[in-house]
Amino acid sequence: MYFDEKKLKDILVSPGHISIEHFNEALNEAKEHGVSIEEILVSEDLIKDEQLGQLLAQITGFPFVNLRNEAFDEAHFEMIPELVARRMGVVAFGRSEDGVKVGMIEPGDIETRHAIEKRMGENIVPYFITKRDLKGVLSRYKASLYEEFEKILEELKNPSLPQEERDKMTIKVVDTLLAYGYQNKASDIHIEPHRGKILIRFRIDGIMHDVLEIPNNLLDLILTRIKIMSRMRTDEHRAAQDGKFRFEVDSSGSVDVRVSVVPVVEGENIVLRLLSAANRQFNLSDIGLNDSDLSKVQEAIDNPHGMILVTGPTGSGKTTTIYAVLRILNTREVHISTIEDPVEYDIEGISQIQVDKKTNLMFADGLRAIVRQDPDIIMVGEIRDKETADIATNSAMTGHLVLSTLHANDAATSLPRLLDMDIEPFLIASTINVIIAQRLVRKICQGCRKSANLSSEEIEMVKRNDVAMNLLLAKGAGNLDKLVIFKGSGCKICGSTGYIGRIGVFEVLLMRGNIKQLVIDRASSDEILKIAKENGMTTMVEDGIGKVLNGVTTIEEVLRVTKG
Ligand SMILES: [Zn+2]
């Protein structure tokens, strides 16, 4: 964070923490050495790091935490990969009622906060930390490959290094790079000649991070090594080449790597895609779809045209579900285009357009432009108005597979909602394949989960919900007091909240013939719900109760998110 001179003076000199002479000396020295004045003040012992941190935190308006005094545990620490911590200046160190406590050198940086929240899938509570503190904490990451990497590069600089050693070192450079990428859950490693250097960048959770710059003279060595590994022609420098290899990771198995080398002005660009890492993210069963719902969704996805709708209120995890489906559909054979507001994750191989209010590129216009390019699959971020709904249903009608989200309470109410947008009933009936409705519930912490009986408050809650009560009575042999469920009793890992992370509860409505008829007859959502249940749909409450009985979440969570 950049603290301007005047603000620093206001908090340091005016209240008398530091004399103006010392301040000015430190300022000059900082300019001379190209470091921050905070660094100088602490290293010259003009102020204690802790006190300075407290004062700087006042400028940022966020609470200060001294990480060296904080007894934080590995479980939180590991939530953020080392590279992200290093590049973004963030450290997860605990948990409170409101979310994961994250120390940040720039707690006011909304973009970074957003990126971290996306990675964790839950709220964060930002604290201010000093750069010194961050540095100290980074060394706690187990065997930092970053330092290992720097050590190898240092050795390679030695001009008297025998060729045999040099070759060994190059192999080590590539291996370390792959291991470092894997450790940080990178989906892609980019090696690019850039302004006389080689720039190495990782894509993690869809975001590109500059990792390091290495000397240009290593490019040929690295290129040759990677070309040999992926069985490419080493003497070809003017044509693009594709290849692949398998990389062994110590104890955790192997990773398939897809390699693309493309000639550019300054040499050749290398992109390594770590396949298992990319596939690890956003799996449909990871987000909470049970087996029977999963097979229904799979059935709908296998249809090459029609529409897949995900519904729920804001913050119910709709986008994550849509991306999970897109990842399944994203094969080389199909052309996928999206129009989103905003583009939340970059997916390689997909053309993604962002809604732009400034140039007035809205969903409807973007969608029109996309349709002209004749993609096989189209994702529209959200259907908000009749115009967008019209183009979406017409595209689905003319042989495209369309994915979108809709703001509706549950699966059954989505259909009358589309009718309200003046879409022809027969169009809705003939295009929609499946509607997935969802909510997010908090997951019980595995660190402190234990079996329990329902409390009297919970029994009261259950009694107000017929569906939940009947399901639980069936399980509890007619007696709610005897029912065994699970709870987090609270521990260090979950910050005494009993919960960690979130998972979806779902209902999946397949458009069978009798449902289509109801749409054409403009039936009410109650009638649609009744028939859908007869067809075998389990509602969100039912799916949620299943997750309660399996010890995934609590009755309180399920009733909270599904009410109203
Ligand atoms: Zn716990």
pTM (predicted TM-score): 0.59
Better-predicted residue by pLDDT, 516 or 133: 516
**Looking at domain 5-138, which CATH architecture does it have?**
2-Layer Sandwich (3.30)
556 C-alpha to center of ligand 1: Å? 17
CA-CA-CA-CA torsion sign (131, 137, 141, 147)? positive
Whole-number Cα distances in Å, 36 to 13, 18, 29, 106 = 17, 16, 9, 15
94 C-alpha to center of ligand 1: Å? 11
Query: In the structure, what pLDDT confidence band is assigned to residue 282 with cuts at 50, 70 and 90?
Result: low
Three-state DSSP state, 460: helix
494 C-alpha to center of ligand 1: Å? 4
493 C-alpha to center of ligand 1: Å? 5
545 C-alpha to center of ligand 1: Å? 21
Structure tokens at 123: 């709220």
The fold of the 291-562 domain, in CATH, is Rossmann fold (3.40.50)
Cβ contact 37:8 at 8 Å? yes
Q: Kindly report, residue by residue over 436-453, the tens digit of the pLDDT.
A: 999 999 999 888 899 998
Nearest to 260 by CA among 329, 208, 191, 316: 191
Residue 372, Cβ neighbours under 10 Å: how many?
A: 7
Low-confidence winner among 41-50, 201-210, 253-262, 508-517 (lowest mean pLDDT): 201-210
Query: In the structure, what pLDDT confidence band is assigned to residue 529 with cuts at 50, 70 and 90?
Result: very high
Strand partners, 271: 190, 260
448 CB-near residues (< 8 Å, 6+ apart)? 488, 489, 490, 491, 493, 494, 498
Q: Kindly report, residue by residue over 14-32, the tens digit of the pLDDT.
A: 888 888 888 888 888 888 8
* CATH 3.40.50.300, the chain: domain bounds: 291-562
Query: In the structure, what pLDDT confidence band is assigned to residue 206 with cuts at 50, 70 and 90?
Result: low
Query: In the structure, what pLDDT confidence band is assigned to residue 264 with cuts at 50, 70 and 90?
Result: confident
Return the CATH number of the domain spanning residue range 145-279.
Answer: 3.30.450.90
497 C-alpha to center of ligand 1: Å? 7
Q: How far apart are the C-alpha atoms of 498 and 556, rounded to whole Å?
A: 12
Query: In the structure, what pLDDT confidence band is assigned to residue 414 with cuts at 50, 70 and 90?
Result: very high
Q: How far apart are the C-alpha atoms of 190 and 210, rounded to whole Å?
A: 9
Low-confidence winner among 62-76, 167-181, 436-450, 480-494 (lowest mean pLDDT): 62-76
Whole-number Cα distances in Å, 546 to 189, 288, 460, 468, 506 = 41, 11, 19, 10, 11
Strand partners, 109: none
560 C-alpha to center of ligand 1: Å? 21
The whole-chain average pLDDT of the chain stands at 85
Nearest to 379 by CA among 322, 333, 324: 322
DSSP conformational letter for 336: E
415 C-alpha to center of ligand 1: Å? 41
Three-state DSSP state, 313: coil
Query: In the structure, what pLDDT confidence band is assigned to residue 504 with cuts at 50, 70 and 90?
Result: very high
491 C-alpha to center of ligand 1: Å? 4
Residue 360, Cβ neighbours under 10 Å: how many?
A: 8
Nearest to 447 by CA among 504, 502, 498: 498
238 C-alpha to center of ligand 1: Å? 56
252 C-alpha to center of ligand 1: Å? 26
179 C-alpha to center of ligand 1: Å? 31
Cβ contact 276:255 at 8 Å? yes
Average pLDDT over residues 263-291: 76
Nearest to 504 by CA among 347, 277, 294, 346: 294
Q: How far apart are the C-alpha atoms of 44 and 170, rounded to whole Å?
A: 41
Structure tokens at 157: 């600089």
Residue 538 clears pLDDT 90, i.e. is over it: yes
Structure tokens at 141: 């990451």
Phi/psi-derived region of residue 61, left when phi > 0, alpha when psi is between -120 and 50, beta in every other case: left
Low-confidence winner among 64-68, 506-510, 554-558 (lowest mean pLDDT): 64-68
78 C-alpha to center of ligand 1: Å? 16
284 C-alpha to center of ligand 1: Å? 25
| 484-488 and 449-453 strand pairing | antiparallel
Strand partners, 337: 351, 378
Residue with tokens 């964070």: 1
342 prior amide bond cis, ω within 30: yes
Low-confidence winner among 240-249, 356-365, 501-510 (lowest mean pLDDT): 356-365
131 C-alpha to center of ligand 1: Å? 30
| 197-204 and 306-311 strand pairing | unpaired
CA-CA-CA-CA torsion sign (100, 283, 468, 465)? positive
251 C-alpha to center of ligand 1: Å? 27
448 C-alpha to center of ligand 1: Å? 4
470 C-alpha to center of ligand 1: Å? 30
The length of the chain, given as a count of residues = 564
Whole-number Cα distances in Å, 186 to 91, 225, 324, 326, 448 = 18, 21, 18, 19, 31
Strand partners, 509: 435
Better-predicted residue by pLDDT, 39 or 444: 444
473 C-alpha to center of ligand 1: Å? 28
487 C-alpha to center of ligand 1: Å? 9
Cα Rg of the chain (Å, integer): 28
* CATH 3.30.450.90, the chain: domain bounds: 145-279
Three-class SS of 135-184:
HHHHCCCCCCHHHHHHHHHHHHCCCCCCHHHHHHHHHHHHHHHHHHHHHC
pLDDT at residue 263 in the model: 83
Residue 1 clears pLDDT 60, i.e. is over it: no
561 C-alpha to center of ligand 1: Å? 21
Q: How far apart are the C-alpha atoms of 162 and 139, rounded to whole Å?
A: 32
Q: What percent of the chain has pLDDT over 70?
A: 93
95 C-alpha to center of ligand 1: Å? 10
Cβ contact 98:122 at 8 Å? no
Q: How far apart are the C-alpha atoms of 32 and 279, rounded to whole Å?
A: 49
Cβ contact 259:190 at 8 Å? no
Strand partners, 210: 201
